[in-house]
Amino acid sequence: MDITVEKQGNLLLARVAQDRIDAACAIQFKDRMREISLEGQGRVVLDLSQVTFIDSSGLGAVVAVRKALGGERPLELLGLTPTVQKVFRLTRMDSIFTLHDRWDDGLQDAV
């Protein structure tokens, strides 16, 4: 799973560089995010702006990452494409995660 990482203050930005998170790669996604989360403390922002498709396995993997981080380290989502946003809205996961449309949505100020 191709995920790049940037550390910016107390914020860890993980960018998914693939167009799908589905059953074929959900386990790889979780494993890679587990590695990434060990790299720092504080907020984790997951940039999904290149992801155009997510299925129930992918959604479950994102939720598993959130649970693994625990209550002390929030997982925030950035740049959901319309199709991915629809999945989050239909499953009501948009009420569980903090969603940001753009990087400048106050994220930089919170670093």
Domains of the chain: 3-100 (3.30.750.24)
What average pLDDT does range 31-35 have in this prediction?
93
Per-chain mean pLDDT for the chain: 90
Task: Identify which has the larger pLDDT, 50 or 111.
Answer: 50
Per-residue pLDDT band for 98 (boundaries 50, 70, 90) equals very high
Residue 105, pLDDT above cutoff 80:
no
When computed from its CA atoms, the radius of gyration of the chain, rounded to whole angstroms, is: 13
Residue 111, pLDDT above cutoff 50:
no
What is the separation of C-alpha 65 from the centre of its chain, rounded to a whole number of angstroms? 8
pLDDT on residue 65: 94
Q: Is the pTM of this model over 0.85?
A: yes
Question: What is the enclosing helix (H) or strand (E) of 23?
Answer: none
Structure tokens at 37: 């989360």
pLDDT on residue 74: 86
